[in-house]
């Protein structure tokens, strides 16, 4: 009985050591603050299998139509990229993270949010993301 406990303890210790020392094969970890672009960004973290996330994808398409390239819009499937879920501290999906052009997280929202509300939030944050109307 004692030898079984000793063996289990050794196996558990080796497993813990393997987890703590394993290398991540996905390359260097990036954080929201470490990525800079010329435009502010909305990152939506969700799943293609999640019904609210599918609704959110429709809102992101609408947001793209409303902003016409004034912001970057990115969707990350957390089932395919679990590292991103950890990096962004995702608790529920969908989650939208607003990031400045310098990489600073400005705001986050959990759940579905309309394209109009996202445009309003950008305005509240001091960004005019609606393109000027073409002069006819």
Q: Which long-range contacts (CB under 8 A, 24 or more apart) does 117-121 make?
A: 118/42, 118/59, 118/63, 119/63, 119/66, 119/67
Select the more confidently predicted residue: 37 or 67.
67
pTM exceeds 0.75: no
pLDDT(70) > 50:
yes
In this predicted structure, what is the pLDDT of residue 132? 80
Q: Which domains does the chain have, with CATH numbers?
A: 32-124 (3.40.30.10)
Task: With beta carbons less than 8 A apart as the criterion, state whether 70 and 122 touch.
Answer: no
In this predicted structure, what is the pLDDT of residue 3? 52
In this predicted structure, what is the pLDDT of residue 37? 65
Per 3-state DSSP, the chain is made up of helix, strand and coil in percentages (nearest 5) of: 40, 15, 40
C-alpha 73/C-alpha 67 separation (Å) is: 10
Strand partners, 44: 75, 96
pLDDT(113) > 50:
yes
Average of per-residue pLDDT across 38-54: 96
State percent of the chain over pLDDT 70.
70
pLDDT(9) > 70:
no
Nearest C-alpha neighbor of 114 from the set 41, 62, 37: 62
Please give the C-alpha separations between residue 90 and each of 9, 11, 24, 73, 114, in angstroms, as whole numbers. Answer: 33, 32, 19, 18, 20
Q: Residue 120 — φ and ψ, nearest 5°?
A: -65, -40
């Amino acid at each position: 009985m004692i030898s079984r406990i000793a063996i289990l303890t050794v196996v558990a210790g080796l497993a813990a050591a393997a987890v703590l020392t394993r290398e991540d094969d996905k390359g260097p970890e990036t954080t929201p603050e470490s990525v800079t672009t010329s435009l502010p960004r909305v990152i939506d973290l969700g799943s293609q299998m999640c019904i609210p996330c599918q609704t959110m994808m429709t809102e992101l398409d609408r947001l793209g139509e409303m902003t016409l390239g004034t912001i970057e819009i990115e969707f990350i499937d957390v089932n395919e990229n679990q590292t991103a879920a950890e990096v962004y501290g995702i608790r529920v999906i969908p989650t939208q993270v607003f990031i400045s052009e310098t990489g600073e997280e400005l705001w986050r929202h959990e759940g579905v949010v309309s394209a109009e509300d996202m445009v309003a939030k950008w305005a509240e944050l001091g960004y005019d993301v609606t393109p000027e109307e073409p002069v006819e």
